[in-house]
Amino acid sequence: MTPTELLAEPTDLGRWIAEALAPVTEPVFPELLADAVRLREAIHDAARRVVDARRVRPADRATINGFAARPVPFTELGHGGVAMVRLRAGSQVESALAAVALDAVDLLSRDDGRLWACEGPACSLLFHDASRPGRRRWCAAQRCGNRVNLATHRRRRAAAHDQPTTQRPRGTAC
Ligand SMILES: [Zn+2]
């Protein structure tokens, strides 16, 4: 299956930041989209290497650290005592990417053996298993877990249909 690019247009990035952090009111230029994709690829490559118990490549480390060094969003006390994330004025997208990079630094430096690749056959997602047993197999049970279980069920049912049926002995009454 061909991977789908979810950050195809600058508006995709603005929408993603709004859903993940806070609304973006400044223009999202194509260069910022290119930055976001570069950071995403560095994080994915680095995480993949951690999953495979390999060292993170220096180039990926430099990319992540470069973004993590930028000013991060801040939090304000909003109406009704609710904490609200605010992106830095004048560099909203950059501050959002800094927050993503900082999260990556936190995740990739834990060394807790809980970073995994999803076992879904058509899934390239990596995930951190924070569950108590630490035996998760899929990025999300509702997504890949259900697909795998459904495929297994169909295979078993097809195999059962292929089994020769027991012949009733001739001449016996029902
Ligand atoms: Zn998955």
Q: Which residues surround ligand 1, an ion (CB under 5 A)?
A: 118, 120, 123, 125, 139, 144
C-alpha to C-alpha distance for 161 and 159, rounded to whole angstroms: 5
Cα of 148 from ligand 1 centre, angstroms: 10
Domain segments of the chain: what residues? 1-111, 113-160
Is a pLDDT exceeding 70 seen at residue 34? yes
pLDDT at 92: 98
- Whole-angstrom CA distances from 15 to 23, 130, 134 are 8, 27, 32
- Whole-angstrom CA distances from 170 to 163, 165, 166, 174 are 20, 15, 12, 11
- Whole-angstrom CA distances from 112 to 62, 64, 106 are 22, 20, 11
Cα of 6 from ligand 1 centre, angstroms: 15
Nearest alpha carbon to residue 123 among 133, 110, 103, 137: 137
99-134 pLDDT tens trace: 999 999 999 999 888 999 999 888 889 999 988 988
